[in-house]
Structures are given as C-alpha cells and as structure tokens.
Structure 1
Amino acid sequence: MAVLHNRVSQEELKRRLYEETEPRTTISFYQYFPIVNPQEFRDSLYKSLVTLKVFGRIYVAHEGINAQISVPSSNFEEFKAALYAIEPLNNLRLNIAVDDDGKSFWVLKIKVREKIVADGITDAGFNMENKGKYVNAQQANDLINDPETVFVDMRNHYEYEVGHFENAIEIPSDTFRDQLPMAVDMLQGKEDKNIVMYCTGGIRCEKASAWMLHKGFKNVFHLEGGIINYAKQIKEGELPSRFIGKNFVFDDRLGERITEDVIAKCHQCGKPCDEHTNCKNNGCHLLFIQCKECAEQYDGCCSTECKDTIHLPQERQKELRKGIDKGQNIFNKSRVRLRPRLNEKEE
C-alpha cells in the first residue's frame, strides 16, 4: 500500500531542504470545480505529487482545490503534466513566485476540508458560477485611475499593512468569513460603481466578487491571479506598479517584495520596516513586524518576557507551554487581547 502521509520529523525535513542544491520553483494555484469524493481525489493527488518531490500545502474540498507548493525546477514540466492530466485543471494558471529562494516549504501536506477557503456562507442561493469579471494588470492600472472605481483589499489586516494598491479600502479583520459581510456594509451606496476585489493569489477575491454580485452590486471585477500574477504581468509588460510595498505570502518567506516602498513600521520601535517574523518563543509564536535592531535586542522575540523564556532550560519551556492555545496569534494594535504595542505604550 502506498504511503499517503509523511513519516519523517519536521526537523529532519528542514535539514534536507536546506541541504538541497537543486533550485526549486514556488507556485500557487486554485480552481473552483466540483469534487465528488475529496478524500479519493486527495489520495490520488498525493501519490502523484510526492514522487515528484513536491512540497507544500494543498486543501481539497467539494468546491475545488487551493495550493501553495514548491517543486524542483527540473521536475516542473512533469509536475505541470500531472496536474493538467486532471481534466478540470487542464491549462490552469500557475502563479509562480517573483521573489523566491525555493525554501518556502519542506513537506507535502494535502488536507481535505469543508471548503478551500473558509467563508462562513450558509446562503443556499449563493452560486460561485456567477462571479465578477477578471481584470489583468493593465486593466487594473486603468481602473485605478477612474474616480468611479473602488479597489477593495480582501486580505487580512496584517497583509494590507505591508503592501496594498493605492487608495484601496481595507476590510479590517483577521478572517475572510468576517470580511464578506463587512465589505457589503462598507460599500453600501456604491452599488453602481466599479468594484475591484483583489487578494494574494485570486482565490479569496474570486469568491468575494461572486458574493458582491449576489448582494446586488452590479459592476464587480476581480484581479486575475491576485497580486502574485499582477506582479508578474507588470514586470513582463514593463508597467508601473500601482501596488505599493510587499505582498504577504503564507509560507516560510512571509513576503514577496513588489516595490521598494516600505509602508509599515516595526511593532517594537516604530521605525519603517515590513519584515514579518514569528516570536522565537514557541509558547507565543506571535506573528509581528520586527526590524533588525529589535531582532537583536529581543533575540527574535516580541517582548522581554518571551526573550527571558527562550533562555530557560527546554524542560522548563515545555512546562510553561502546557495548556496554551495560541490560536491565531497575530499582532493587531486595534485589539486589546493582543499586545497593543509591543514593549511600548500605544502611539
């Protein structure tokens, strides 16, 4: 029987990744299409991709597939052939990372989920087939100059913080499921304007565009392939970038630089910085922005408390971590439950 799950420790897998000499290509893709038996689909896909040394994170559901992966560059064409052999995925657009060292993933994980992106939608009348129109990079640049157009960022607040389209509306939430009703509320009175939804790779803004049409908005568009594809198109077409800063990505890189603009600030000292990191204290692991100077001062931690903790014996650290549910531990100065200003008073 074929092995359908990884059996090697994370530490060993990371070691192997960093010892690799062959370059890897980081890719993201998604497709909304009906899958009758997600578990069967998942197992077949795993057997196909693991032999090609594909690493990454793939979600499969009745509504489709969502993937962020890396593949040895020499296996890219074989990977593409295997993917395109699945009829609904034939000629699927693959978003190839623009700022990539190939060290984005170190293991292949394919999980069956209820949905490929959690949306909170229970409305039986909602139909993904009625979605907004695609716009490419040139069309997006043209639309952003139109006063009758509203750009809407369908990413989380920490993604928006380090980079976004000029004058885009932020939907300030930690989750996509909260953003959908918030977007409808925030855009009341703009039903006749051009509404351009965008996100990292296209999966969230595609569903958001369908939801806005479902809620009565008339002229809804979404950025084809998201910011990742936009960055590729402006580079190839030598177009000006109307996206400013960095595109947050959900892998070990935590970001792809689109322009040299640094629009965020270090959460500890307040100086310009857009480098996300996770607190080195495994009992915290807070995702926050930290400059190099503060990284040195706090040993990569978010606070003096966490800095002190990582220098304790490992057994003591394990004791302190027992029973802790970090959940989605992300810095957000608008929320009291997380440190409003790391080691400093609120500005």
Structure 2
Amino acid sequence: MSRESMPSGPYKDAVSYVSWLKDDERFSHILVQISHSFSGHAFPRLKLRYKPSLVQLEGGISHLPLLDLSMRAKPLTPSQWRSKLEKVNKDYQGNVNLNTTCILLDVRNGYEWDVGHFHGAERPDVDCFRSTSYGQSESEDIDSDPLARIDKENTDILMYCTGGIRCDVYSAILRQRGFKNLYTLKGGISHYLWSEGPVDWVGNLFVFDARLSLPPSSYKAEVEPEEFIKLEVSESSSFAKCHVCSTQLSALRHRNCANLDCNLLFLCCAGCTSPLKGCCCLECTSAPRLRPVLIGQQRYKKWHHYRDIEMQNSRLLT
C-alpha cells in the first residue's frame, strides 16, 4: 500500500480504518488523506501484488541513497510551502532565466499538469516519470531543462508531486549532481489542498484511479459530492484545453486513445469524442485494434474483452 492510494469505501468506514491504523505506534506518524469519490468506488476491485518500488526511473533506483534523509529534499509544511511560493511568483515572468533565485519544479507528467498545477510551474515535457531528466541535460537539450545553467549553490528548487514520493526519489539524484537548496512539499499536492485550499493552485488535481481528476474542494471532508463535480478553473487559463481542437474545456475529461497501440492519455471535449471514435487524432481512427468509444467515467478493459465480443458478434452474424 502506498501513501498515495488506499482502498475506497464509505466515509465513516474510512475514518474508522485510519483511527485503527494510527492506534498502532508503528503507523501513528503516517499521513493519511481522504478524498471523495462521486462515481462509486474509486477502486472497485482490490488488487494486491508485490512491487519492488512505487516509482521507476531509467537505470533503476536501487543505487540511490534513498534511506539517507540528508540526500532528500527538505520537506516543507503546506504553510511553509505557501510562503515560499510568494517568492516564486515574485520572480516568475513566464520563463526561467539566469537571474532566478527560486525555481518551482513540477515532478509529475505533462498530462497531470494539463488539468492543474501551481502557478509559476512549467509543464513537464514527459509522459512517464521514468523519463524525467531535470538537471541532467546534455548540450543538445539544455534549453528545455529549467535546471540547466542555474546556480546550484544559491538557487532554491521547490519540487512537488501528488503525494511526495516522486520528489523524495528525484531529489536524491539532484543532490548527487550538486544541487544544494532542495525543498519538497510534505504530503504532496493533496495535503496542501486539504490544509491551505487552492491558494496559488490552478485547476484540478490528476489522480491515478477511475476518477482521473479531482477539484481542490474534494479534499475537504465536509463538502458533499454534488458540490465539486463542476470544473474549478479560470476561463483565462492557458491550460486545460482539448488535445484535438484546442478549445477551453467546460469539463475536464481525460481519456486514453481508443487505438490500443497508441493509448495516449489526453484531454478531450465532448464535441471531439464521437467524430474521432475516441481517438486522439484522425490517423488513429484507422488503426487495426480499435476499442469502442467510452461514455462518461468508464475506463477501458483489457483488449481481449473487446476482441472476444467482436468474435461473438461475428459468429451471430454468420
């Protein structure tokens, strides 16, 4: 079980479980966060399996000194993070420059940034954490790395992710590369939204379950589900746009491309879903392995499920 996800259930049962867990002194210090699910169980099936690590990077992470707390970024409480953000927003001009004394680093994937991020954070140019390469740029891609050419001794680097695990891992890499002033948001974005609300946060929070994204208010236990289904994002925002037609979305809806061999996770408006058969582009609509268009909050099943249905239908027709 990671600290970023737990089984779903009725609110009162979740609170009881947390209370029972913290009665054990071994887990009394664990930060447990609860968020609403407005479409039934966020985790309809309980699946347990062993994973050597919660996150993966190119080349593995076994060589990293992750148990050495001095090699990780310094954790900041949500209130301390909020104070640091004031400095970032004072320096922020839309682009990182050599005179910047504080950099806000989003250590997530690009599609997570697309639905919500802290003001002043640049969009990560990766679709998988294992490909993250901040601070490791070669000469040919130095312009795309916000940590390239900065003062490693004097620049404050504020790192954030959903729950904090990715920052713990990646900060060890940056520490080995000589970056001195590393800070991370304790408990991640979800903890910040619960503690401080959406101050300096723009949009919703991407989550890795059937809900896909949650508005900041979902982390307040007293809010009823129907109160936060609406999109919380300013119309003037430059993000949260349809991947196909680039129009501002009135409702956030991530979907995987219906082309199984593409499977791109992208934002799509309702008007572009049917014409492209649930695909991300026109080219994918002619793919040989095409899944059906999904309606509402449904998620794709395994390919063999749709293949078996097609085979049954073809037998009925013959």
Q: TM-score, normalised by structure 1?
A: 0.62
How is 1:265-276 mapped onto 2 (pairs within 5 angstroms)? 265-273=241-249, 274-276=252-254
| Match among 204, 207, 215 for residue 177 of structure 2 | 215
Q: Does 1:83 align with 2:17?
A: no
Letter in 2 for 1:75: D
Aligned residues: 254
For the Cα contact (< 8 Å) 1:99–1:257, is it kept in 2? no
Q: Distance in 1 between matches of 2:8 and 2:306?
A: 33
Q: Which of 267, 278, 287 does residue 265 from structure 2 map onto?
A: 287
Q: Deviation of residue 160 (structure 1)?
A: 1.5
Partner of 1:260: 233
1:305 equivalent in alignment to 2:305: no
Contact 1:126 1:211 in 2 (8 A): no
User: Does residue 158 of structure 2 align to residue 202 of structure 1?
Assistant: no
- Paired amino acid for 2:266: F
1:123 alignment partner AA: H
In the superposition, relative to structure 1, how do residues 183 and 94 fare at CA in structure 2: closer, same or farther (>3 Å)? farther
Q: For residues 294 and 124 of structure 1, do their structure 2 counterparts lie closer, same or farther at Cα, with a shift above 3 Å needed?
A: closer
**What is the CA deviation profile of residues 111-162 of structure 1, one whole-angstrom value per residue up to 9, with x for unaligned ones?**
2112122132353655442222222333223212224211100001111222
Q: CA deviation at 1:88?
A: 3.7
Residue 10 of structure 2 is matched in structure 1 by: 72
Taking the aligned partners of 1:133 and 1:222, their CA distance within structure 2 comes to 6
Distance 1:215 1:87, change over 3 A: farther
- Residue 75 of structure 1 aligns to a residue whose secondary structure is helix
Q: How many angstroms apart in 1 are the aligned matches of 2:167 and 2:155? A: 17
Question: 1:1-347 alignment to 2 at 5 Å?
Answer: 58=1, 67-84=5-22, 87-97=25-35, 100-119=38-57, 120-123=60-63, 125=65, 127-130=67-70, 131-146=72-87, 147=91, 148-179=101-132, 181-185=133-137, 186=145, 187-188=147-148, 189-191=150-152, 192-235=154-197, 241-258=199-216, 259-261=232-234, 263-273=239-249, 274-280=252-258, 285-302=263-280, 303=282, 304-305=285-286, 309=290, 318=307
Deviation at 1:172, TM superposition (A): 1.6
Classify the secondary structure of the residue corresponding to 1:69.
coil
Aligned equivalents of 1:67, 1:310: Cα separation in 2:
28
Task: Please list the CA deviations of residues 85-124 of structure 1 after superposition, one character each: whole Å capped at 9, or x if unmatched.
Answer: 5544223111222675453110111221121221323536
Cα deviation for residue 253 of structure 1 reads 0.9
Aligned partner of residue 103 in structure 1, secondary structure:
coil
* Bigger mean CA deviation after superposition, 114-123 or 279-288: 279-288
Asked if 2 retains the 8 angstrom alpha-carbon contact of 1:284 and 1:306, the reply is no
Q: Cα RMSD over matched residues?
A: 3.5
* Cα distance in 1, alignment partners of residues 36 and 82 from structure 2: 19
Opposite residue 80 of structure 2, the aligned amino acid is Q
Q: Is the Cα–Cα contact under 8 Å of residues 133 and 222 in structure 1 kept in the other structure?
A: yes
Distance in 1 between the 2:129 and 2:304 partners?
38
Deviations along 1:291-332, whole A, 9 cap, x unmatched? 0112243454445436995579x999628999xxxxxxxxxx
1:144 partner SS: helix
Judging changes above 3 Å, is the alpha-carbon distance between structure 1 residues 267 and 136 closer, same or farther for their aligned structure 2 residues?
same
Give the Cα separation in 2 of the matches to 1:143 and 1:117.
27
SS at match of 1:230: helix
Percent identity over the alignment?
A: 30
Moved more, 270-279 or 218-227: 270-279
Secondary structure of the residue aligned to 2:172 is helix
Query: Post-superposition shift, 1:84?
Result: 2.9
**What is the CA–CA distance in structure 2 between the aligned matches of 1:260 and 1:99, rounded to whole Å?**
20
Contact 2:64 2:173 in 1 (8 A): no
CA contact (8 A) 2:42 2:210 kept: yes
Q: Residue 77 of structure 1 aligns to a residue in which SS?
A: helix
Letter paired with 1:260: V
Structure 1 residue identity aligned to 2:121: A
The 2-side partners of 1:221 and 1:316 are apart by 45
Q: Which amino acid aligns with 1:121?
A: I
Q: In structure 1, what is the Cα distance between the partners aligned to 2:123 and 2:44?
A: 33
